[in-house]
Amino acid sequence: MVMVSAYARPSTMDEALELLSWSGAVALAGGTRLGGDSSAREVEVVDLQALRLDGIRADGEHLLRVGAMTRLQQLVDSDRVPALVREAARRERPSTLRAQGTLGGCVATGDGESELLAALLVHEALVHVETSRGADSVPLESFLAGLPLGAGSVVTAVTLCTDGAAAACHTARTPADRAIVAAFARQTEDGRRVALTGVARTPILVRLGDALDPVGDFRGSSEYRRALADVLTQRVVEAIS
């Protein structure tokens, strides 16, 4: 567990950004990952809960804006959220942790096995970030490639497209376990998007024929993950065609 040397709960974004610019300061959202951090480093915690960054609302036709402090369970429960994203949020963590963990925490962590992030990639997610230099919106693919997040940055929301036909397929050791590899696909009038977990440092968008070089572990070698990626991609593409 990290050692907390100071705790602050700012009520404005300006105050939060100022506090987060200090060396050793970290944003605290649901705390499920920070609490499980075994590095024993000393941190100054900036709790985001008073900033009112939660809520799910329509943001134009086929667009949904989800606040960064929205809990994973709120995503699961919302009938505004596309079914693929709701199911991926449900598979992310057990219910006790879903009630605590936030979308912002998941995005800022960028875990390579996150099915929620893969679902968001095919739903063309845009990540909204505030820094002392102002607000910016970045496609999730670029945001994940740029992790870790720079000091003094706060993810405020994620916007996603809700239209189109989508499908997911995964292989895991047991039905409730995290997937070794998972494939997500979505088809719209503008084209098809396919995303994979378990084959790179973060979930990634892939095009058919892309060369993958996954790191193997005790659940699956590099070759096995590559083979899974091929098979699961074919299945999800068939499902949306």
Ligand X SMILES: Cc1cc2nc3c(=O)[nH]c(=O)nc-3n(C[C@H](O)[C@H](O)[C@H](O)COP(=O)(O)OP(=O)(O)OC[C@H]3O[C@@H](n4cnc5c(N)ncnc54)[C@H](O)[C@@H]3O)c2cc1C
Contact footprint for ligand X (CB under 6 A) = 26-34, 36, 48, 68, 72, 93, 97, 100-102, 104-106, 108-109, 111, 114, 149, 153-155
Residue nearest ligand X, CB atom distance? 105
| Comparison of 20 and 240: residue with beta carbon closer to ligand X | 20
Say if residue 203 is preceded by a cis peptide, omega within 30 of 0: no
Least spacing, CB of residue 153 vs ligand X, in Å:
6
- The amino acid occupying position 53 is L
Q: How far is the CB of 58 from ligand X (least distance, A)?
A: 21
Q: Torsions phi, psi of 164, nearest 5?
A: 95, 170
Joined tokens for residue 196: 């994979």
Contact 202, 111 (CB under 8 A): yes
Calculated CA dihedral for residues 93, 187, 79, 119, nearest 10 degrees = 20
If the CB atoms of residues 135 and 231 are measured against ligand X, the closer one turns out to be: 135
| Minimum CB–partner distance for residue 237 and ligand X (Å) | 26
Cβ proximity to ligand X, 129 vs 205, nearer residue: 129
Would you say 24 or 216 has its CB closer to ligand X? 24
Q: Cβ contacts of residue 150 below 8 Å, gap of 6+?
A: 131
